[in-house]
């Protein structure tokens, strides 16, 4: 049980990178970008084939993120310059990326079990420092199960996510970031202030899919393989993370929203891990679980709001009756 939850938190922080990318398009740009399902695999595919061909893992990871950035830019160009509907342009790019990813990989899946990856390098460095043994001995003396050898990755991912969150928060307060937010809020108004909304949309989609591809690259190295079908449903997982985070923690400011998205991604992975431990559910039910979580996250806040509104109306009516009764007595 402990190991399952640990793995869920570990992978949750990696998927949080993808969730932030989805947040940028759906919440900041107000753009329904379905490129995500394709660019997630593109990041993993480019990274995997690069590592297999001798490229250092860190550089291969950057190549994967860059490939996703370019895919997002193409989606933006299709929409802004080709005048194709936003939803359709994402679908077209997603379909095109399926074939492109197959071309990159050369076959439906690639294994990195014998290759040097960021995960293996981090684990080796962590073990050589001796910190791993000290912490595990401390937990053992307290009667707690020994932590997995990969727990150092969780520590590194937390540090990385803090840095990324601060970077995204800062970026969204810059001139370009404010332009992206203004474009998503009101494109006509942004144009009236001489903002080049087409360029901003292309940049926004590029950054978003770059983050998605980075997540796919890290997931590939974390799991030790990449598959052409592993991106199916990624957009729903990203939306689930965004919606769950906003429902639980709110999103009144950009800083609070990005934190909510990160925590939402981790909570989503924990809920899925716990749900899959239920006897009648199987691994193949993960997409169904995701859909149910999204439905609950969307419906629950509205239901609570309706109940609060009913209570407010009843309280108002009760106050009016008391006031009328006092007037009659007078």
Distance CA 104, CA 145 (A): 42
Task: Look up the pTM and report it.
Answer: 0.87
Least confident of 99-108, 164-173, 266-275: 266-275
Please report which confidence band the pLDDT of residue 326 belongs to, taking 50, 70 and 90 as the band edges. Answer: low
Residue 145 scores a pLDDT above 70:
no
Distance (Å, whole) CA 171 – CA 19: 17
Q: Comparing C-alpha atoms, which of 120, 117, 122 is closest to residue 156?
A: 122
Assigned token pair, 143: 């009667």
**What is the rounded average pLDDT for all residues in the chain?**
86
pLDDT of residue 132: 59
Give per-residue pLDDT as tens, 25-46. 999 998 989 999 999 999 999 9
Helices (H), 142-233: 151-171, 175-185, 187-192, 197-223
With CA atoms as reference, report the closest residue to 240 among 3, 23, 6, 11.
Answer: 23
The pLDDT value recorded for residue 330 is: 57
**Span 181-200, pLDDT tens digits:** 999 888 888 888 878 899 99
Averaged pLDDT, 42-61: 94
């Amino acid at each position: 049980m402990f190991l399952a939850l640990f793995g869920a938190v570990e992978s949750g922080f990696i998927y949080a990178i993808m969730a932030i990318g989805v947040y940028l398009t759906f919440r900041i740009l107000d753009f329904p970008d379905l490129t995500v399902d394709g660019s997630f695999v593109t990041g993993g595919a480019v990274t995997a084939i690069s590592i297999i061909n001798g490229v250092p893992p860190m550089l291969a990871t950057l190549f994967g993120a860059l490939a996703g950035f370019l895919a997002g830019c193409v989606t933006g160009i299709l929409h802004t310059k080709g005048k194709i509907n936003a939803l359709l342009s994402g679908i077209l790019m997603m379909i095109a990326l399926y074939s492109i990813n197959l071309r990159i990989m050369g076959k439906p899946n690639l294994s990195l079990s014998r290759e040097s990856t960021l995960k293996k390098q981090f684990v080796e460095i962590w073990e050589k420092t001796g910190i791993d043994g000290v912490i595990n001995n401390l937990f053992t003396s307290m009667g707690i199960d020994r932590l997995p050898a990969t727990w150092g990755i969780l520590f590194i991912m937390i540090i990385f996510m803090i840095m990324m969150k601060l970077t995204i928060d800062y970026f969204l307060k810059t001139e370009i970031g404010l332009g992206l937010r203004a474009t998503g809020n009101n494109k006509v108004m942004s144009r009236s202030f001489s903002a080049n909304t087409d360029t901003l949309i292309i940049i926004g989609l590029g950054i978003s899919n770059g983050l998605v591809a980075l997540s796919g690259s890290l997931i590939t190295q974390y799991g030790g393989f990449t598959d052409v079908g592993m991106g199916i449903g990624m957009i729903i997982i990203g939306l689930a993370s965004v919606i769950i985070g906003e429902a639980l923690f709110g999103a009144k400011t950009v800083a609070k929203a990005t934190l909510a998205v990160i925590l939402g991604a981790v909570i989503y992975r924990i809920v899925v891990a716990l749900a899959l431990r239920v006897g009648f559910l199987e691994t193949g039910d993960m997409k169904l679980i995701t859909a149910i979580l999204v439905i609950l996250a969307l419906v629950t806040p509205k239901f609570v709001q309706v109940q609060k509104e009913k209570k407010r109306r009843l309280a108002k009516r009760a106050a009016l009756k008391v006031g009328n009764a006092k007037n009659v007595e007078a």
